[in-house]
Amino acid sequence: MTARPAPFRVVVAKPGLDGHDRGAKVVARALRDAGFEVIYTGLWQTPASIAEIVLQEDADALGLSCHSGAHMTLFPDVVEELRARGIADVPLFAGGIIAPADVPQLAAIGIERCFPPGTPLPDIVTWLRARLGGAAEGEAPTEEEATDG
């Protein structure tokens, strides 16, 4: 039997002065329960601090949450900070109060998916697993994996 890979590491971050973190905590918990290793940054993070956490934690993905309406300013700043650290290839996803009209602009800067309030948590888990290209630790192995070596 082959060894299972380490769990994917996902940073969930709250940029700016937004104090609404219930959604971010719910998503972080759902990802953790699905076998991901989750690093939640807490409230009031700067774009630079978020990028530094992603770098220091060697994160496989970054989820951003914004309910303040400042996503069109803060998210591009986070992307710039990631680029400045040479880690712009980290998959990005977002949630919160994001107008559908803003989604194409966010996609253009590298936010791969936006999950609005009310998105079923399994949808986020499924998308992230597919995007990262494999099963997170804690997920049952496929039949092929279970019969390996």
- CATH code for position 127: 3.40.50.280
In angstroms, the CA 149 to CA 146 distance is: 9
Question: Cα dihedral sign for 116, 68, 109, 57?
Answer: negative
| Residue 145 pLDDT exceeds 50 | no
Query: 62: Cβ–Cβ under 8 A, 6 or more apart, which residues?
Result: 10, 11, 12, 13, 50, 54, 78, 82, 90, 91, 92, 93
Query: What is the per-residue pLDDT for 143?
Result: 38
The tens digit of pLDDT for each residue in 31-45 reads: 999 999 999 999 999
| Residue 148 pLDDT exceeds 60 | no
Query: What is the per-residue pLDDT for 4?
Result: 54
What is the average per-residue pLDDT within 120-124? 98
Q: What is the model's pTM?
A: 0.87
Q: What domain range includes position 57? A: 9-134
What is the average per-residue pLDDT within 109-137? 91
Is 3 within a domain? no
The tens digit of pLDDT for each residue in 11-31 reads: 999 999 999 999 999 999 999
Is 149 within a domain? no
Name the band, by pLDDT with cuts 50, 70 and 90, for residue 129: very high
Is 78 within a domain? yes
* Number of domains the chain contains: 1
Is 141 within a domain? no
